[in-house]
Amino acid sequence: MNPILRIATLWGRHALWLGAAVLLALAALAASLALMGFSARTLAAALFGFTLAVPLALPFIGIARVVLRYLGRVAGHEAIFRALADLRVWMFSGLAASAAGGLGYRRAGDALARLVNDVDMLDGLFLRIFVPGLSALLLLPWLGWVLWREHGLALAALLPFLVIAFYLPVRAAQAARRNAARAGLAMSALRSTALDALHGLREVKIFEAEGRMLAAVQAREAALLAAQRDLLVHTSGLNAQAYIAAQAGILAAILLGFLGGPVPALVAVFVLIAAFETVLGLPRAGVLYGQAEAAAARVVQAASAAPPVPDPAVPASMPSRNAIAFEHVSFSYGPDRAPVFENLSLQLPQNARTAILGPSGAGKSTIAALLLKLAAPTSGQIRLGGTDIALLPAEAVRQRIAYLGQTTHLFADTIRQNLLLGDPMADDAKLWSALEAAQLADTIQALPEGLDAWLGEGGATLSGGQGRRLALARTLLMDAPILLLDEPCAGLDAATEQEFFRVLSTATQGRTMLLLLHRLTGGENLDRIWRFSAGTLISAAG
């Protein structure tokens, strides 16, 4: 499906607002044409001494034109703001579904550009493209009838109208479509470079790399400006052509219309002025359409990306037990890449506390990705409660597993809102219970705002150990029977790591726990320990 049509189908729930905006816009156009037609006849009568009754409704038509335009814009903007809000939610939901394990190879700047710039580009799709285009289509036969009625020769003015309303917008759309990919890539590169510089500002200062980072940002900015400048030059030329065509049409109506008398000439000229006013913005609308089409394609691509592991067509029922078994599992990140491990078998009994040790790259995080259905084994099976997880829906599997990774993010929000990610329905008593389990309650109670204390970006107002405990409390709030912790003490000093594991041992009683670690510190209180050696798991303790 054309990406524009795909986006339009999402806006069906706002059909009432959109329909009202269209009707009001067309009513305003009709009032404008009627006002110009009656005004022309009245002016002609005054200039040439004709007796002509002035319609009593003429002042009201003028007022109605202004009011209808205003109401049309209000309805249109209300519809579009609602539609764009839905579009952002739809895109974010699709992006989250396809990137459950993180953005992967997609850069944050590119995702942000799609979520902000590309969605904003669709703002004018309705009011600046669809409504003027529909108005031009409906105006064409009516305008032809009026010109023919006033004087047949005035129909020559339709040629400039057709050029402005249809030919130039198509050319503008083609130029914008060619330019949009270049401009979109330049915008994504600029955002990514700027975000990298901001996130790494400390390192930039330490290594005195301000000049190099600034030069990189300026280079990306120059590429974006060059793309925008090329399109602006082309658009300006098309706008100039539209203006010249409009003046030529009015001049033709004047010259040819007077052959039929002054009244028809003035009516034709006044009506054409209103008609050209309606379509003079269509070349610009063509540019917007070309840009919107490219933006819509990027939005649809991001929102419709396939999940890392597709769900089964007919999912099996979730098992009642939570034992985990890897049976002869092999995995590779690509057909041209060496396998991470082959023929791996592992048993994790229900309520057992197991650790898998190994250096970076050994395959520990791959085990977590396979268990969370962020990747699928190339061969073998992973069973949950005796059922192959390939037959289970990913969302249901992840609801059974509370995951705490080495890069768990704390949001720039209150402690309460960070905790509620684990359980949106949790009351204060449950939040404090989780904090007690993570042995962080006393620290939070000492803050003046308590649960409503504001965390800095990335939890900057907490120490490293406190941040990990808050992340643990959030994980515990999921109340999932299986805990999966991937390097939960990454970045902590030895003393804080020991304390964290002491808290963890108490807080996770009665759950199946899998720890993925570089090394043991002695305070993990484990039932089983496995170690990676040359892609094979070897029992280190039992």
Closest CA to 358 of 166, 129, 520, 160: 520
- Calculate the alpha carbon distances from 287 to 268, 343, 378 in Å: 30, 56, 47
Contacts of 291 (CB under 8 A, 6+ apart): 121, 176, 179, 180, 183
Phi–psi pair at 377, nearest 5 degrees = -65, 150
Rounded to whole angstroms, how far apart are CA atoms 524 and 355? Answer: 9
The SS3 assignment for 343 reads strand
pLDDT for residue 151: 66
pLDDT for residue 103: 47
pLDDT for residue 420: 92
pLDDT for residue 457: 75
User: Domains in the chain and their CATH numbers?
Assistant: 3-303 (1.20.1560.10), 324-541 (3.40.50.300)
pLDDT for residue 105: 41
Residue type, 97: A
pTM as predicted: 0.65
The one-character DSSP state at 344 is E
The SS3 assignment for 25 reads helix
Phi–psi pair at 107, nearest 5 degrees = -85, 145
pLDDT for residue 89: 86
423: left (phi over 0), alpha (psi -120 to 50) or beta: beta
Rounded to whole angstroms, how far apart are CA atoms 34 and 37? Answer: 5
pLDDT for residue 330: 92
Phi–psi pair at 456, nearest 5 degrees = -70, 175
pLDDT by residue for the chain (542 residues), tens only, comes to: 688 888 888 888 888 998 999 999 889 888 888 888 777 777 766 666 665 555 666 678 888 889 998 998 899 888 888 888 888 888 888 777 766 555 444 555 566 667 777 787 788 788 888 888 888 888 888 888 877 776 666 677 788 888 998 999 999 888 888 887 788 778 778 877 887 787 788 788 777 788 888 888 899 889 889 888 888 888 888 889 989 988 888 887 777 666 666 666 777 777 788 888 888 888 888 888 888 888 888 888 877 777 778 888 898 999 988 899 999 999 988 788 888 888 889 899 988 888 898 888 788 888 988 998 888 899 999 999 999 999 999 889 988 998 888 777 888 889 999 999 888 999 999 999 888 888 888 889 998 898 999 887 777 788 877 888 888 888 888 878 998 988 877 666 777 777 777 777 777 778 888 988 888 776 567 888 888 877 788 887 54
List, as one string, the DSSP characters of 383-441: EETTEEGGGS-HHHHHHHEEEE-TT----SSBHHHHHHTT-TT--HHHHHHHHHHTT-H
pLDDT for residue 44: 67
Phi–psi pair at 523, nearest 5 degrees = -115, 25
pLDDT for residue 365: 84
Q: How far is CA 347 from the centre of its chain?
A: 41
Rounded to whole angstroms, how far apart are CA atoms 276 and 245? Answer: 9
Rounded to whole angstroms, how far apart are CA atoms 47 and 52? Answer: 11
The H or E element that residue 533 is part of is strand 528-533
pLDDT for residue 118: 78
164, 246 contact by CB (below 8 A): yes
Contacts of 317 (CB under 8 A, 6+ apart): 387
Q: 516-531 burial string, b = 16+ CB within 10 Å, else e?
A: bbeebeeebebebbbb
